Amino acid sequence: MFQAAIMGFGTVGSGVYEVLDRNAATVTKNAKQSIEVKYILDLRDFPDAPYQEKFVKDFAVIENDPEVRIVVETMGGKGAAYEFTKRCLLAGKHVVTSNKELVACHGAELLRIAAEHNVNYLFEASVGGGIPIIRPMLQCLTANRMLHITGILNGTTNYILTRMIHAGLTFDAALKEAQQKGYAEANPAADVDGVDACRKICILSDIAYGDNIFPEEVETEGISKITLADVGYAAQADCVVKLLGRAVLQEDGTLYAFVAPHFVSKICPLASVDDVFNAILVSGDMLGDAMFYGQGAGKLATASAVVADVIDCVRHDKHRRQFDWGDGSKKLLRPLNSFASRWYVRLTGDDAAARLLAAFPDCTQLSAQAEGEAACLTAELTTAQMNEKRAALGSVAGCMRLL
């Protein structure tokens, strides 16, 4: 029997307990021994939980119990979660997490500490929830140079955009619906502003390129300015609006990484990924395109990925997993200024059409959907060029890259 502790009994943490309990037979078969949760750390009380004796409020109980060999960190954030994770690894315990913020900000350091103490720090659930993506990239795509990674990495924003596209809801109405359904938090900023997607594209870039890309270095734009007008012009261009996290490798080995809403052609398999589903499209120089699709969030889906990592720790208790993750010294990330793509631009105002044509003489015009409005698809322009045009135009009602 292998003993574990869960730190943080929120949605994912309680899901981990539930998966271990409900699928105990499957877990035991695959781990080749049973896994028991000895402690659950949470400052809150859970008077209705049947296993009261497992709850502790003092981290030291877990840290000092040599019987606990795996710790699941589902607290979130990078405060106590960071400190406790470090102390668990230092104490020679494997740590498994779904905490993308902590992995994105301190993954390299925590992996190094894990290596020094011959234990694992695993985080499959930190990107794509229940979708296998970290391990396939680390083990199955190793013969490829990863040319680019393009992901719908946040279920909340994808739900909102799906409802705008297919039900004609405004952003505000779709957000409200997402909150009512429990897909969005009362304070939706981390999702809606792209912060969550940014952490995930950082983790994927770190793994694919062996460098440490930090969230604060990655230009991130959310979806709160998207309107039904933009959604309509996208349809006219045979596209849908999707929030994408992207990493794009250059010939010289440097890369761009950013998060922004895009016009995605309906031909692209990402275009049909709807509702709270996530999908990650990776393109290898030998493999071509491959896509991983599934539930990017949700209690049991995410918890099942955490438990799979726990099983992997048990199976490979003595053989540490080899993760390559640079310390950031490679400085592969390029400023987005020089990244070129085609763009969608929408202007409003009486002379919108004339101003748009003057600014983008090579553009493909879209049919105006309302009076005093004009929209087009530009030729290829760098981010810097587009920023100049936007500054010259004064105010732009809508502007997104094409994928």
The residue within the footprint of a copy of itself, chosen from 287, 384, 396, 397 (CB under 8 A), is: 287
Q: At what angle do helices 24-31 and 299-315 cross, to 10 degrees?
A: 30
Pairing of strands 343-348, 364-366: unpaired
Q: Which is nearer to a copy of itself, 108 or 375 (CB)?
A: 108
- 301 lies in the site for a copy of itself, by CB under 8 A: yes
Q: Which is nearer to a copy of itself, 278 or 383 (CB)?
A: 278
Q: Which is nearer to a copy of itself, 56 or 290 (CB)?
A: 290
* Maximum Cα interatomic distance, the chain, rounded to a whole number of Å: 74
Q: Are 85 and 73 in contact (CB under 8 A)?
A: yes
- 292 lies in the site for a copy of itself, by CB under 8 A: yes
| Residue window 203-232: x/- pattern of binding to a copy of itself, with contact defined by CB under 8 A | -------x----------------------
Of 55-63, 125-133, 148-156, 343-351: span binding a copy of itself (CB under 8 A): 125-133
Q: Which is nearer to a copy of itself, 131 or 393 (CB)?
A: 131
Residues 319-348 close enough to bind a copy of itself by CB under 8 A: 319, 322, 324
309 CB-near residues (< 8 Å, 6+ apart): 96, 122, 123, 124, 125
The residue within the footprint of a copy of itself, chosen from 63, 115, 117, 132 (CB under 8 A), is: 132
Q: Which is nearer to a copy of itself, 206 or 373 (CB)?
A: 206
Q: Tell me if residue 1 falls in helix, strand or coil.
A: coil
- 130 lies in the site for a copy of itself, by CB under 8 A: yes
Find the shortest distance in angstroms from Cβ 272 to a copy of itself. 6
Q: Are 277 and 294 in contact (CB under 8 A)?
A: yes
- Could you give the C-alpha distances from 162 to 155, 227, 276, in angstroms and in order? 10, 13, 9
Q: Are 306 and 20 in contact (CB under 8 A)?
A: no
Count of residues that bind a copy of itself according to CB under 8 A: 55
Residues 255-274 close enough to bind a copy of itself by CB under 8 A: 269, 272
- 27 lies in the site for a copy of itself, by CB under 8 A: yes
Catalytic residues: 200
Q: Rounded to an integer, what distance in angstroms lies between the CA atom of residue 39 and that of residue 62? A: 7
Q: Which is nearer to a copy of itself, 32 or 57 (CB)?
A: 32
- 28 lies in the site for a copy of itself, by CB under 8 A: no
Q: Rounded to an integer, what distance in angstroms lies between the CA atom of residue 380 and that of residue 305? A: 40
| Residue window 136-155: x/- pattern of binding to a copy of itself, with contact defined by CB under 8 A | x--xxxxxxx----------
Show the beta-strand stretches assigned E in 233-318.
239-249, 255-265, 277-284, 288-295
Of 46-54, 93-101, 127-135, 365-373: span binding a copy of itself (CB under 8 A): 127-135
Query: Three-state SS string across 204-256, please?
Result: HHHHHHCCCCCHHHCEECCCCCCCHHHHHHHHHCCEEEEEEEEEEECCCCCEE
String of b and e for 310-332 (b: at least 16 CB within 10 Å)?
Answer: bbbbbeebeebbebebeeeeeeb
Q: Rounded to an integer, what distance in angstroms lies between the CA atom of residue 159 and that of residue 177? A: 9
Sites of contact with a copy of itself (CB under 8 A): 19-20, 22-23, 26-27, 29-32, 124, 130-132, 135-136, 139-145, 210, 269, 272, 284-295, 298, 300-301, 303-308, 310-312, 315-316, 319, 322, 324
